Structure 1
Amino acid sequence: MASKQKPLQPSIGSEFDDIPLKMHVPQLEFIYRLQCEMAKENDHVGAAFGGTNERIVMPILGGTVKGPEISGIIQERSGADWGTAVQGTNYMRLDARYTLKTSDGYCIYVQSKGIFSPQREDFFAQGHPDTMSQKEVEWFTRLEFEAGPGPYSWLNSIFAIGVLGMHDRRIVIDAYRLTNFPGMRPAVLNARQEQTKL
């Protein structure tokens, strides 16, 4: 997932602290675009203990993943978003889990936690829109991957974020790796095997 080297931008934090450590702004490297089909009906669990936050289960039916080093599908009905809606607001905390299956047959488990926050109080006044853009919502997620040995094991060691939107009722996620080392391949880490003492 190499990309062209870009100059590192100094952190504005230096204006608020005079320590000699030079910090810089990390960079984003594109991983893939995911399109996701959600079920038409959600499961409204409600608010536990009569509280104010309502659990809503949003089943994931399937989808596609396309990027420079990965392509495949979301396994059919492999997961959902177990979101929490904050009553009295349009704000929701996201908690999704699902499985990707790559075009060359590898399975990757994805866990995604984030936020959904429209920027207008009347966002849902006309009902739930079929399209949502980055100009309308703060919609981000932290992506964690679990991949077995093979060509996608580099996903295990990265810090990734997802930037979300929706088109024609399909959720779109652009996934990026956050890095201090743009253009350098992520490390492939393998657990050390303990030596058996005889």
Structure 2
Amino acid sequence: MSAPPPETPAAPGLTFLAELSVTVGEPIDVGPTPEGHRRVIPITGGTVTGPSLNGRVIPGGADYQLLRSPTLTELDARYVLETRDGHRIYVHNSALRHGSAEDIARLNRGETVDAGSIYFRCWPRLTTAAPEWEWLNGRLAVGTGERHPDRVLIRIFLID
């Protein structure tokens, strides 16, 4: 008699944390390097809106981009959020953005591209010294992104 097939484990759930509207400056183009084409995108500010996490994006961070191919970009953004009550949360957000060569070229030129035609997923790590938000230090998150000419929208979900 054979054993029954193993059950597929349940996938973890997701809980919406916040939407970040991150404003950005003009790209700093480093150019082709041995690893790929490098660009640095200054982070100039923004807002944080969610059921419990609200505040602003502090100017001064950056998104360190590596254009791996005409269709694939790796993003490595680092910046700080400030909650409405003045607490600081450090964000290290790694992401992949993939689309047709034409759409990625349009994004890189600062043009509008339909978000549905771009795969933009991220895994933000949020850490803080604030006792009220310390629980974030022990949580993992994933998110979706949309690139607009003057900002990036990131929707962050905690993994249950």
Give the TM-score range, shorter chain: 0.7 to 0.9
Matching residue's letter, 1:65: V
Give the letter aligned to residue 154 of structure 1. W
**Letter paired with 1:157:** G
- The structural deviation recorded for 1:52 is 5.7
Q: 1:112 aligns with which of 59, 78, 93?
A: 93
Unaligned runs of 5+ in 1: 1-16, 180-198
Length-normalised TM-score, structure 1? 0.71
Identity of aligned residues (%): 27
1:193 alignment counterpart: none
Offset from partner CA, 1:7-33 (integer Å, 9 cap, x none) = xxxxxxxxxx94x46511211110001
Which residue, 70, 73, 85 being the options, matches 2:67? 85
Do 1:131 and 1:169's aligned partners in 2 also have CA atoms closer than 8 Å? no
Runs of at least 4 residues off by over 4 Å: none
Q: What secondary structure sits across from 2:102 in the alignment?
A: coil
Kindly report the root-mean-square deviation, in angstroms, between the aligned alpha carbons of the 2 structures. Answer: 2.1
Shift in Å at residue 149 of structure 1? 3.5
1: CA distance, partners of 2:144 / 2:78:
16
Count of matched residue positions in the alignment of Structure 1 and Structure 2: 155
What CA distance in whole angstroms lies between the structure 1 residues aligned with 2:91 and 2:106?
33
1:133-152 matched pairs, under 5 angstroms: 133=115, 135-152=116-133
- Within 5 Å, which residues of 2 pair with 1:46-195? 46-48=31-33, 51=34, 53-77=36-60, 79-87=61-69, 89-118=70-99, 120-123=100-103, 124=105, 127-133=109-115, 135-167=116-148, 169-179=150-160
1:131 touches 1:165 (CA, 8 Å); kept in 2?
no
Name the structure where helix makes up a greater proportion of residues: 2
Give the TM-score of the pair, scaled to structure 2: 0.87
Separation in 1 of the partners of 2:58 and 2:102? Answer: 35
Contact 2:143 2:156 in 1 (8 A): yes
For residue 145 of structure 2, give the secondary structure of its aligned residue in structure 1.
strand
The match for 1:29 is 15
